[in-house]
Structure 1
Amino acid sequence: MSTTLEGAPPSGSPAPVHRGRWIDDWRPEDAAFWSRTGATIARRNLIFSILTEHIGFSVWSLWSVLVLFLGPRYHVDPAGKFVLTMVPAVVGSVLRLPYTFAVAKFGGRNWTVFSALLLVVPCILTAVVLKPGVSYSTLLVVAAVAGVGGGNFASSMANINYYYPQRLKGWALGLNAGGGNLGVAFVQIAGLIVLETAGAAHPRLILAVYIPLIVLSVTGAALFMNNLSSAKNDKRAMRDVCRDRHSWIMSLLYIGTFGSFIGFGFAFGQVLQVQFKADFATPAKAAHLTFLGPLLGSLIRPVGGVLADRYGGARVTFVNFVAMVVSATIVLLASLQNSLPLFLVGFMALFIFSGIGNGSTYKMIPAIFRAKSSLLVAQGMSEPASEQEARRLSCALIGLAGAIGAFGGALVNLAFRQSFLTYKSGNAAYIAFIAFYTVCFIVTWFVYLRPSPKRLEGV
């Protein structure tokens, strides 16, 4: 509940009410308030939110780079390396739900400072233990701690969602998500530079880059971000959204899009080294390509949202999953023929379509609850109350789907591990991806596109 300060501007004023770093009167839907001061404050918070989330993604995907440095002296086989990239994905997915609620409980600025400072821990631990002779169990524990970077996305998105008016939420959240996703590509570029300049014996140089960046992001968040008193947790919303079948359907689809993006981002370099040993005899050769997929997937994510606005989220998601089936089939054929060029074409397509799907599935979530709100109006609920209900459930589902979707990254790495361990190739994993994407486009059509009197319009 907002508080009023003595001598503060009244409720209709275009000026926000400050109490230190807390803002007690925040009205983004008020045009005068927004144009005078709201937009400037929101933009400043968005900038530092993107910076901290970007670094969070980099730390989360740190081990997708570090496994390229684990030569024979570390005594870690390919199956073990896939587990090292899988563990942070699992931890990050679990942390996304509590991180979503942390913003309203502790304040957006306060939690951003704390969660960004927490990123120093896995970096320091890695710098201390990463040397030949370290036990595999120690590496697993340190890799798990890197999972804290995966939670930053949820808290960052929840925080920025409070700042922007409805008409600008899509743009702001898309920019925030895309900037964060780029962290996967940038840490891999950092790894490439270290491999090319210092060699595989010096993985700590990557940490020497990121520790100062973390300190910079913490300082910026502390000095320039704000807390909003109006940010409140609605625990009933999460309970209510878990009872809605669309929540689990959208979570399934988000496993297919974001789970693929983050899972492939973690595993791609390792897949290249194992699948095409002759072409990628050194880690540096694999690192030349590993960043391209995450970079393309991140940059194209907003396109999925734009296409969904124009053609409908369900239509774009349906076509996108069909394209992912085709792309995964190309990867499978390339693997069977041992064709590296065709393999790269198929995998880059998978990254691109997973990025587009990230945007289109996120656009489907508010559309689903808007469509359901019209049914509530027909049943007698007032239009403002139905719109508020739609926003309440949409926010909860974005948090839930984000957490479940991130777990898909662990499933991707598990599929690769089992495939290479059992069949000495990735073919079984590619077949599993084809089957899963087929399920996703069938479910999308059956629930959201199939002619039916029960179909939700406008999704």
Structure 2
Amino acid sequence: MTGTTAPRKGGRWIERWDPEDETFWKETGERVARRNLVYSVLSEHIGFSIWSLWSVMVLFMGPEYGIDPAGKFFLIATATLVGALVRVPYTFAVARFGGRNWTVFSALLLLAPTVAAMLVMEPGTSYGTFLAVAALTGVGGGNFASSMTNINAFFPLRKKGWALGLNAGGGNIGVPVVQLAGLLVIATAGAGHPRLLLAVYIPLVVVAAALALARMDNLAPVRNDTGAVREAVGDAHTWIMAFLYIGTFGSFIGYSFAFGLVLQTQFGRTPLQAASLTFIGPLLGSLIRPVGGALADRFGGARITLGTFVAMAAATGVVVFASQRHSLEVFLVGFVALFVLSGLGNGSTYKMIPGIFQAKALARGMSGEAAAAYGRRLSGAAMGLIGAVGALGGLGINLVFREAFLTSGSGTAAFVTFLGFYALCCAVTWAVYLRRPAAATVPAAGVEAKPQLTSV
């Protein structure tokens, strides 16, 4: 990626960046890209922990807080909503301020919800205050969008599945880590000491910001491209991929936030019992996300994504059966499988995005660096929108759970709804990206002779 604009002043700006150039990549690019990836993962990891903070805080909120299960679901839904909405401006902030600079600022911004939660987390605080503080944690959800946009610019297309999967997976692990930390506090100090958990994260936020300041770089050639944004918004593939990302990431974050409450509300688990189980699914789903990206690099993102949705529908069927029979053991098997599969799908869907737009470039007669540059422009612009819409899926999951428990006291109806949605995701993936007649409309990235979209 090369730029002809005036150099930017100060603050570790890299003026020339061309990862598709093999010589540049081997001599300079790979080392710099990997270093930025490491500290991007750390900052995003802390961001996810803060975003999912209220999935843990509600486990500390016993009867003395006077908030019913529906109210708790709405608290975590509020955090999900704000986290989804701020992803759009966070995406464009990277080009405006620089990846390193924005990582530092966005990391320090995490102090606001963490300190605020420490101040208000006690019985007697009004529900409106809890809602406002839960909304503040949404800034942690924005870190994902800026981090993914930044790392997307550092790596060549052939490495994006692995790099984006590792970046996102390392960030996603922030969810089970904060849940494990909450478990440790509940197990050792009891459910009456939520401030101990918050006290741990304040210095971690400062460390993440300091390391980003010292070790990350800004890419000067990365500029906001209003033309690319308009083109991405007007491209049907942006919204199709956003819909599919609702099914993968929306499921992951929605289930991560709701898991503990479902165990408490439907299966009568104590806070300690719920906390001892909630981290397992998010942890496995996070760890396997890079595998989804790597499998997509090798076999094609659309194939892996379709297989993932088919398996998610089957796992949801298991959860519906277990929910009806009130079998905790079977429920856990099906629910943890949903986490693992959503993690795989997260990696494969994000790999599809740059591949789709480079494939469109090939279909227009571009080749080489011109096609790669077009793919980077459009995929960078689309990622923020796709990430934001996908995160709204988490809001939908929590609202559906809230309604199900309000009306029936059980999550069964919610899982039936999710089963129907996964079936629709299967149909869309097959019809748009795998059905043979459609393959000719957009050649696959990286295939020379009679390319097909299944390689996307």
For Structure 1 versus Structure 2, the TM-score category normalised by the shorter chain is over 0.9
Residue 170 (structure 1) aligns with: 161
Residues 34-433 of structure 1 mapped to structure 2, 5 A cutoff: 34-277=25-268, 280=269, 282-377=270-365, 381=366, 384-433=369-418
In structure 1, stretches of 5+ residues that fail to align are 6-16
1:442 aligns with 2:438: no
Q: Distance in 2 between matches of 1:290 and 1:90?
A: 21
What is the CA distance between 1:215 and its match in structure 2? 0.8
Residues 20 and 257 (structure 1), Cα distance of their counterparts in 2 relative to 1, 3 Å cut: closer
Shift of 1:18: 8.9
Distance in 2, matches of 1:3 and 1:451, equals: 43
User: 449-458 vs 50-59, which deviates more?
Assistant: 449-458
Letter of the structure 2 residue corresponding to residue 189 of structure 1? L
Evaluate the alpha carbon distance shift between residue 162 and residue 365 of structure 1 in structure 2; reply closer, same or farther with a 3 A threshold: closer
Alignment correspondent of 1:10: none
Q: Tell me the matched-pair count.
A: 442
Amino acid at match of 1:247: T
Distance in 2, matches of 1:101 and 1:54, equals: 20
For 1:158 and 1:386, the matched residues in 2 are separated by 18
The corresponding residue for 2:453 is: 458
Q: 1:455 to 1:26 in 2, by over 3 A?
A: closer
**Which structure has the larger Rg?**
1
Would the alpha carbon gap of residues 418 and 340 (structure 1) be closer, same or farther in structure 2, given more than 3 Å must change?
same
CA deviations on 1:268-303 (whole Å, 9 max, x unpaired) are 0000000101xx1x2011001000000010111122
Deviates more, 1:165-174 or 1:25-34: 25-34
Q: Deviations over 1:188-217 (max 9, x none)?
A: 000000000000000011111100100111
Question: In structure 1, the residue corresponding to 2:122 is in which secondary structure?
Answer: coil
Cα distance in 2 for residues equivalent to 1:29 and 1:321 = 32
- Output the CA distance in 2 between the equivalents of 1:23 and 1:386: 23
Q: How big is the shift at 1:47? A: 1.4
Amino acid at match of 1:327: A
Q: CA separation in 1, counterparts of 2:66 and 2:423?
A: 38
Q: What is the Cα deviation at residue 3 of structure 1?
A: 6.8
Structure 1 residue 375, shift from structure 2 partner: 2.0
Deviations along 1:429-450, one digit per CA (max 9) or x if unpaired, are: 0110011001110111222222
Q: Distance in 2 between matches of 1:384 and 1:162?
A: 14
Contact 1:4/1:24 (8 A) holds in 2: no
Kindly provide the amino acid, as one letter, of the partner of residue 420 in structure 1: F
Say which SS state the counterpart of residue 452 (structure 1) adopts: helix
Partner of 1:11: none
Secondary structure class of the residue paired with 2:364? helix
Cα gap change, 1:170 to 1:305, in 2 (>3 Å): closer
1:369 and 1:30 map into 2 onto residues whose CA distance is: 19
Q: Report SS of the residue matched to 2:221.
A: coil
Answer whether contact 1:293 1:347 (CA < 8 A) is retained: yes
Identity %: 60
Summarize the Cα distance change of 1:20–1:354 in structure 2 as closer, same or farther, 3 Å threshold. Answer: closer
Deviation at 1:315, TM superposition (A): 1.9
The answer (yes or no) to whether the contact 1:2–1:229 under 8 Å persists in 2 is: no
SS at 2:437 equivalent: coil
> Structure 2 regions of 5+ residues with no counterpart?
443-451
Amino acid at match of 2:436: P
What code does the residue aligned with 2:33 have?
A: A
What is the alpha-carbon distance in structure 2 between the residues aligned to residue 366 and residue 97 of structure 1? Answer: 18
SS of the counterpart of 1:111?
helix
The equivalent of 1:12 in structure 2 is none
1:41 Cα deviation from its structure 2 partner: 2.7
Output the amino acid matched with 1:328: T
Alpha-carbon distance in 2 for matches of 1:354, 1:414: 19
CA contact (8 A) 1:449 1:455 kept: no
Query: Please, which moves more after superposition, 440-449 or 360-369?
Result: 360-369
Q: What TM-score, normalized by structure 1, do the two folds share?
A: 0.92
Provide closer, same or farther for how the CA distance between residues 250 and 221 of structure 1 changes in structure 2, counting only shifts above 3 A. same
In terms of mean alpha carbon deviation, does 307-316 or 261-270 score higher?
307-316
| C-alpha distance 313-133 of structure 1, shift in aligned 2 (>3 A) | same
Whether the 8 Å contact between 1:97 and 1:154 is mirrored in structure 2 is yes
Shift of 1:218: 1.2
The 8 Å contact of residues 447 and 455 in structure 1, kept in 2 or not, is answered as no
* TM superposition shift of 1:383: 5.5
